[in-house]
Amino acid sequence: QVQLQESGPGLVKPSETLSLTCTVSGGSLSAYYWNWIRQPPGKGLEWIGYIFYSGTTTYNPSLKSRVTISVDTSKNQFSLRLKSVTAADTALYYCARLTTVTHGYFDDWGQGTLVTVSS
């Protein structure tokens, strides 16, 4: 098991860019898929996208035009950028490790960080 910790601003203004970082400790990024998942208050989980340790990315089609996920293997971190945010992007943002695609599962999660979009 690895430990994941999200960090970043808790408040973002509408139309601006949300930026979060996930720091992975207790293991390397190699051979896994590193994901961002969000949960609006009182609602369900929404997958945002993942990055493979090599840098390959896949995004939720509904968010694809606004999302960028990047990785810094030297720091054992990966990051999320979500541009042009609105109040609908207010959510608890989790980073999580996916074991593989097709038959994979999320076996480690961060504690989540609340991001509020408000002026």
Partner 1 sequence: SYDLTQPPSVSVSPGQTASITCSGDKLGDKYACWYQQKPGQSPVLVIYQNYKRPSGIPGRFSGSNSGNTATLTISGTQAMDEADYYCQAWDSSTASVVFGGGTKLTVL
Summarize as ranges the residues that interact with partner 1 (CB under 8 A): 35, 44-47, 50, 58, 60-62, 94, 98, 101-107, 109-112
Q: How far is the CB of 68 from partner 1 (least distance, A)?
A: 17
Shortest Å, Cβ 70 to partner 1 = 19
In the complex, minimum distance from the CB of residue 74 to partner 1, in angstroms, rounded to a whole number: 27
Contact status, residue 26 vs residue 3, Cβ threshold 8 Å: yes
- Which backbone phi and psi does 62 adopt, to 5 degrees? -75, -15
Q: DSSP E strands: which ranges in 16-112?
A: 18-25, 33-39, 46-52, 57-59, 67-72, 77-82, 91-98, 106-109
Query: Residue 16 or residue 109: which is nearer to partner 1 going by CB?
Result: 109
